[in-house]
Amino acid sequence: MSLALSTAERADILRRHEAAIRGSLRTKLATIGTIVALAGFFVYGLTTLETSLWKIISGFGNLGTFVMLMLPPDPGSWARAVIFVKALFETIAIAFLGTVLAAILALPLGFVAARNVVANRVVHFLARRSLDTVRGVDALIWALIWVNVVGLGPFAGMLAIMTSDLGAFGKLYSEAIEAADRKPVEGVSSVGGGKAHEIRFGLLPQVLPVIASQVLYFIESNTRSSTIIGIVGAGGIGLYLAETIRTLEWQQVSFLILLVLAAVSAIDFLSGKLRFAIIGRRAS
């Protein structure tokens, strides 16, 4: 069977779908305007930040000097190494507890912020803007706030991670819930299930694998973030990292960096195994 189109058929298709094929003038102008605006903003950023290729090139020499000062990694003593390892586990605990608590607390907020669960526009708007407000404040700022509220230490760091991730998880959960297939929900409703049954048996089974994958990634990511909040006194290995940098103990700095890299690699390996166990492997 021949699929070739005649000249008249091609002309008819072009005529009926001319706007989709060639694009409207309004769409073209909007695209050009967006590209020009982004290019202008890029150029403005280069000029405002005083970007200089020469600074980058000359900075490589300084980078090489720092690398040489960091070699070989050395904690200084076995007692110091033990302290650093304990601080690393404290950092992992901060990241793990903060992420898990945020994931649990954000679950009901994600359903409230999902448009296909709560149809009330006012409630939906307030829930989304509240999550945006919490998410808009960086974890380092939350660490400074919680240090002043509960004092120095890992408890403040855990609260900072929890608060920062609460908004992010709420947004991700709501988007995953809104993208869920409606057919299972309609099936539960057709057999007499209420709203709670629709959520429990129609939505949760679909979004739980996605939620679990996101939580595992955030645990890995927050292990790195916890090193930064430790610099402001929120516990963990970041406190020692800031101290060794201030005292110019570059070999100890490289030892601490290696500890963090090893921890992140191990967590990434374990989270990958858990993720595949939850969502399954793709068919090859």
Give backbone dihedrals phi and psi of 62, rounded to 5 degrees, phi first. -65, -40
Residue scoring higher pLDDT (66 or 97): 97
pLDDT beyond 60 at 150: yes
Range 195-219 average pLDDT: 79
Which residue, 221, 235, 214, 212, is CA-closest to 264?
A: 221
Most confident of 52-56, 77-81, 181-185: 77-81
pLDDT exceeding 90 applies to what percent of the chain?
A: 4
Query: Per the structure block, which two tokens stand in for 212?
Result: 């679990």
User: pTM for the whole thing?
Assistant: 0.73
Range 159-167 average pLDDT: 89
pLDDT in the model for residue 17: 65
CA atoms within 13 A on the CB side of 192: 0
Query: Per the structure block, which two tokens stand in for 209?
Result: 């694998």
Which residue, 58, 234, 214, is CA-closest to 140?
A: 234
Q: Which of 8-17, 131-140, 157-166, 219-228 has the lowest mean pLDDT?
A: 8-17
pLDDT beyond 80 at 180: no
Confidence band, pLDDT 50/70/90 cuts, at residue 35: very high
| Residues 82-130 pLDDT 10s | 888 898 898 888 889 999 999 999 888 888 888 777 777 788 788 888 8
Query: How large is the angle between the packed helices 78-113 and 121-135, nearest 10 degrees?
Result: 160
Provide the mean pLDDT of the chain.
81
Give Cα 36 to chain centroid, integer Å: 29
pLDDT in the model for residue 284: 42
DSSP state of 80: H
Give backbone dihedrals phi and psi of 194, rounded to 5 degrees, phi first. -85, -170
pLDDT in the model for residue 37: 93
DSSP state of 198: I
Give backbone dihedrals phi and psi of 139, rounded to 5 degrees, phi first. -60, -35
Range 64-89 average pLDDT: 84
Query: Per the structure block, which two tokens stand in for 82?
Result: 């033990």
Euclidean distance between CA atoms 90 and 241, whole angstroms: 14
Range 191-203 average pLDDT: 73
Contact by Cβ (8 Å): 234, 147: yes
pLDDT beyond 60 at 141: yes
pLDDT beyond 60 at 282: no
Confidence band, pLDDT 50/70/90 cuts, at residue 283: very low
pLDDT in the model for residue 118: 74
